[in-house]
């Protein structure tokens, strides 16, 4: 069994990105990222802080637009329009989830697709589905980069994606399909999840449920990617896979933390640098 070390790979990527950022500086460009953070959700605040720190070390100028949870949809839209017009900002991301009175789709659709470094805008989603270039959501993109770094080619593999959200499972499915894997996608209404995971060479899980994937659900020698982030009652961060028991059966597995999480941030930085290069 080999660990897929996302932490180490993301550190290497950040060093490369810092060099690219310096090259842009020489041309008078400082890559810029605007983050919209609404409300005081603790996890969202932590993620935004991590993104801010990563921008700092890569030479990306970041600005956080922090807003109270009572803010109106119109006001958020106004700020997005302002960011869209700002020539010094290359990327914009809206930290999700948003409060219930805000229509998330309307907010995402307001982002200029050229600045949509999270890849959530329907324009970029459509390009991904069509196998065209565009911004790809950072988490599934990070998974693809991790596989590539370990010379794991999805072509011809039976892949099973567990979790079908717009930001994780669905783009993951499309990326794997574009890479010629045969993809099964499962969600909360899937009958007999084990039947699907058991026959997969590559299992990618992003649900948010501790120990959803157990030893009996994984075939010998499978590759297992755990996207889930859960906090246990003891305050420990774990994924969706019963790591202790599943890992010995795998050829490769990601740890949590230190697997997909750091790759997500690295891909956000990379998307922002690319946006600045396209300025
Ligand atoms: P979500 O709640 O939007 O979607 C969850 C998906 O899981 C849904 O498609 C749902 O149908 C499916 N699901 C729920 N229960 C299931 C079950 N018992 N069996 C099969 N499928 C089931 O969540 P999300 O935003 O996609 O995030 C999923 C997980 O990934 C969370 O733990 C989140 O914290 C984590 N996440 C991690 C990163 C990272 O960088 N590592 C990034 C984004 C999300």
Tens of pLDDT along the chain (279 residues) come to 999 999 999 999 999 999 999 999 999 999 999 999 999 999 999 999 999 999 999 999 999 999 999 999 999 999 999 999 999 999 999 999 999 999 999 999 999 999 999 999 999 999 999 999 999 999 999 999 999 999 999 999 999 999 999 999 999 999 999 999 999 999 999 999 999 999 999 999 999 999 999 999 999 999 999 999 999 999 999 999 999 999 999 999 999 999 999 999 999 999 999 999 998
Q: Is 42 domain-assigned?
A: yes
Residue 23 domain-assigned? Answer: no
Max CA separation in the chain (angstroms): 56
100 and 164 share one domain: no
3-state secondary structure of 249: helix
Query: Domain check: are 84 and 160 in the same one?
Result: no
User: From the CA of 206, how far away is ligand 1's center (Å)?
Assistant: 4
Q: Residue 17: what pLDDT?
A: 98
Best of 167, 193, 207, 240 for a ligand 1 pocket test (most atoms within 8 Å of beta carbon): 207
pTM: 0.98
Q: Which of 278, 276, 277 is nearest to 91 (CA)?
A: 276
Instruction: For residues 57 and 172, state if they share a domain.
Output: no
Domain limits for position 174: 138-261
127/86 Cα distance (integer angstroms) = 25
Q: How many domains does the chain have?
A: 2
> What are the structure tokens assigned to 41, written together?
């959700």
For β-strands 230-231 and 223-226, DSSP reports them as unpaired
Ligand 1 center from residue 10 Cα (angstroms) = 22
């Amino acid at each position: 069994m080999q660990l897929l070390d996302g932490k180490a790979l993301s550190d290497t990527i950040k060093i490369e990105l810092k060099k690219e950022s310096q090259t842009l500086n020489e041309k008078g460009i400082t890559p810029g990222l605007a983050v919209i953070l609404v409300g005081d959700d603790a996890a969202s605040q932590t993620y935004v802080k991590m993104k801010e720190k990563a921008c700092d070390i890569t030479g990306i100028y970041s600005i956080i637009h922090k807003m109270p949870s009572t803010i109106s949809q119109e006001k958020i839209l106004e700020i997005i329009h302002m960011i869209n017009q700002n020539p010094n900002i290359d990327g914009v991301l809206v930290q999700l989830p948003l409060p219930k009175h805000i229509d998330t789709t309307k907010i995402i659709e307001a982002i200029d697709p050229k600045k949509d470094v999270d890849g959530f805008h329907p324009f970029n989603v459509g390009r991904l589905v069509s196998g065209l270039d565009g911004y790809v959501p950072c988490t599934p993109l990070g998974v693809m980069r991790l596989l590539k770094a370990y010379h794991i080619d999805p072509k011809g593999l039976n892949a099973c994606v567990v979790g079908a959200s717009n930001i994780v499972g669905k783009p993951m499915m499309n990326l794997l399909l574009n890479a010629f894997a045969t993809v099964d996608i499962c969600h909360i209404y899937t009958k007999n999840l084990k039947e699907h995971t058991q026959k997969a060479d590559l299992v990618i899980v992003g649900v948010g449920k501790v120990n959803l994937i157990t030893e009996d659900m994984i075939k010998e020698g499978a590759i297992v990617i755990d996207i889930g982030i859960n906090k246990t009652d003891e305050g420990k961060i774990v994924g969706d896979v019963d790591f202790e028991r599943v890992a010995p059966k795998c050829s490769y597995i990601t740890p949590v933390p230190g697997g997909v999480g750091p790759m997500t941030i690295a891909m956000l930085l990379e998307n922002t640098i690319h946006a600045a290069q396209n300025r």
